Amino acid sequence: MNFLQEIARRRTFGIISHPDAGKTTLTEKLLLFGGAIQEAGAVKSNKIKKGATSDFMEIERQRGISVATSVLAFNYKDKKINILDTPGHKDFAEDTYRTLTAVDSVIVVIDVAKGVEEQTEKLVSVCRMRNIPIIVFINKLDREGKDAFDLMDEVEKKLGLQVTPLSFPIGMGYDFQGIYNIWEKNINLFSSDSRKNIEDVIAISDIQNPELDKIIGDKAASKLRDELELIQEVYPEFDRERYLNGTLQPVFFGSALNNFGVRELLDGFIEIAPSPRAKESDTRLVAAEETKLSGFVFKIHANMDPKHRDRLAFIKIVSGTFERNKLYTHVRLGKSLKFSSPNAFFAEKKEIVDISFPGDIVGLHDTGNFKIGDTLTEGEIMNFRGIPSFSPEHFRYINNADPMKAKQLEKGIDQLMDEGVAQLFTLEMNNRKVIGTVGALQYEVIQYRLEHEYGAKCSYENFPVHKACWVKPEDPKNEEFLEFKRIKQKFLAHDKYGQLVFLADSDFTIQMTQSKYPTVKLFFTSEID
């Protein structure tokens, strides 16, 4: 197979959902289809169960599992599929946002009874910011839930999407009979036997065919005909171009637990989902088909063994091929590096590979060279964009609790921030360090890891901040900006990259500041240009 064929057959995507909607179950069923695992239950859930907030062993277990399931690759038909795992727990949402910079498309799983939930809204809004093609999978049709049309309405309104169904349920819950595949014009009758063969589908090319009444009953048949008519009137016809540019989202229905509707989803997915897409860098758009390597780090995972401080940096290949033992340029450090044992990921195991293609993820052993967002090239000086930080929701001062271990603490904080565990802000006035996180759980993770991996102790102190706003003055020399800096001095800090940040204590303060200093622009993500 040549280089271009290798690119064309790759599908790199993420599955996102609010916890409990069925992401893990769906992932597992997809792997079963790919023959990557033999039995159900092989994919471990990466979620931290409720009540385990202070259970450090649970956190450690979670880290171990999440490295094992970070990338799940398998072949299906003639395609190479890479599923990038996204943590479900909301305290780890930052990790998910970053992973979304490395996917070419996503599948959003929605629980038919719960509809659009909070975490779904946040994650989809990040996908929309980047025009990532989205497929919606409505799950748990074997249970009573919301009416399919109401639910599609809710998806459109709450997520700001425009949807069109490619499959449609016949009944629901107790009356769930199966799924009409609008895309292929056939019916798959529901059976809760997950080993059910796909050959069981019944082709119904003409929905008026009286056979339909015999199969699903008169009442259900006439309801289905009405519903399909309504779909034709109300929803746009599926248009792949619109799906690819993020303006139309196809919807599939099913029951992941019963392995039902999953094959339709997967077959539809491999046909319509994009192969590796071009990516914007700070200098130009880089196409996957270019022969020179480029790629970027989207995730760093510390090794589980605290005695060996090495880490695994996950690189998404954007263009060219990544080859073992070849010299590549680490753009930020201006260094040439080669890697003797790049890992590729296959379902649950990782192995050393000689060559990887655009869309693939390679794991590189790292002793501290990489930060999230770093770019590798064959010499070209450019950096991939689109790895923003969002304002954290919790802020605390971090203090050294063991004066003998100040160096260890500093190193530990530095490395954990490189991994993207949390965000560090250094106050301009007194150099005190403030840690910002998405969830309270991260403080425990940081404290635990500082102690066990770096031998340092820390304590926290509350810092009443509502939001971090990245600051960009229209003119850094004008009087307004200088006054802003003088008046707000106590609340100004620098992030890890030295960007100026205003730590505001309330939305009211933000509004007041914006109206008082209109030329000082405040941004809620770090991607401010």
**Residues making up the binding site for GTP:** 17-24, 85-89, 139-142
**Interface region with ligand G4P, contact rule CB under 6 A, candidates 19-27, 169-177, 362-370, 439-447:** 19-27
What minimum distance in Å lies between the beta carbon of 17 and ligand G4P? 5
- Per CB under 6 A, does 19 bind ligand G4P? yes
Q: CB within 8 A of 378, min separation 6: which ones?
A: 292, 293, 294, 320, 328, 329
- In the list 44, 45, 223, 270, the residue contacting ligand G4P (rule: CB under 6 A) is 45
- What would the two tokens of residue 373 be? 């967002």
Contact status, residue 144 vs residue 172, Cβ threshold 8 Å:
yes
Contacts of ligand G4P in 153-212 (CB under 6 A) = none
Q: CB within 8 A of 403, min separation 6: which ones?
A: none
329's enclosing H/E stretch is: strand 328-330
What minimum distance in Å lies between the beta carbon of 269 and ligand G4P? 17
Contact status, residue 326 vs residue 244, Cβ threshold 8 Å:
no
Report which of 521, 190, 242, 327 is spatially closest to residue 513, judged by C-alpha positions.
521
- Per CB under 6 A, does 140 bind ligand G4P? yes
Distance CA 60, CA 168 (A): 41
- Per CB under 6 A, does 318 bind ligand G4P? no
What minimum distance in Å lies between the beta carbon of 191 and ligand G4P? 13
In the bound state with ligand G4P, the residue whose beta carbon lies nearer, of 126 and 416, is 126
- Per CB under 6 A, does 86 bind ligand G4P? no
What minimum distance in Å lies between the beta carbon of 14 and ligand G4P? 13
433's enclosing H/E stretch is: strand 433-437
In the bound state with ligand G4P, the residue whose beta carbon lies nearer, of 21 and 172, is 21
Q: What's the gap between Cα 102 and its chain centre?
A: 8
Q: What is the 3-state secondary structure (H, E, C) of 130-183?
A: CCCCEEEEEECCCCCCCCHHHHHHHHHHHHCCCEEECEEEECCHHHCCEEEECC
- Per CB under 6 A, does 25 bind ligand G4P? yes
What minimum distance in Å lies between the beta carbon of 314 and ligand G4P? 20
What minimum distance in Å lies between the beta carbon of 312 and ligand G4P? 23
In the bound state with ligand G4P, the residue whose beta carbon lies nearer, of 252 and 502, is 252
What minimum distance in Å lies between the beta carbon of 297 and ligand G4P? 26
- What would the two tokens of residue 376 be? 């590798």
In the bound state with ligand G4P, the residue whose beta carbon lies nearer, of 174 and 497, is 174
In the bound state with ligand G4P, the residue whose beta carbon lies nearer, of 114 and 457, is 114
Distance CA 312, CA 223 (A): 54
CA dihedral 522, 421, 104, 123 (to 10 degrees): -60
- In the list 3, 8, 20, 478, the residue contacting ligand G4P (rule: CB under 6 A) is 20
- In the list 17, 167, 181, 377, the residue contacting ligand G4P (rule: CB under 6 A) is 17
- Per CB under 6 A, does 24 bind ligand G4P? yes
What minimum distance in Å lies between the beta carbon of 44 and ligand G4P? 10
Tell me how far CA of residue 394 lies from CA of 91, 417, 460, in angstroms.
10, 15, 12
What minimum distance in Å lies between the beta carbon of 125 and ligand G4P? 18
- Per CB under 6 A, does 23 bind ligand G4P? yes
Side by side, the strands of the sheet bearing 423-427 are 458-462, 394-400, 433-437, 423-427, 492-494, 500-504, 467-473, 520-523
Question: Per-residue b/e over 80-100, b at no fewer than 16 CB within 10 Å?
Answer: bbbbbbbbbbbbbbbbbbbbb
Contact status, residue 31 vs residue 72, Cβ threshold 8 Å:
yes
- What would the two tokens of residue 452 be? 């066990």
Binding mask 484-503 toward ligand G4P (x if CB under 6 A, else -) reads --------------------
**Rg of the chain's alpha carbons, rounded to an integer?**
25
- Per CB under 6 A, does 139 bind ligand G4P? yes
Contacts of ligand G4P in 244-273 (CB under 6 A) = 255-258
**Interface region with ligand G4P, contact rule CB under 6 A, candidates 23-31, 336-344, 392-400, 470-478:** 23-31
In the bound state with ligand G4P, the residue whose beta carbon lies nearer, of 99 and 139, is 139
Residues that bind ligand G4P (CB under 6 A): 17, 19-25, 45, 47, 88, 139-140, 142-143, 255-258
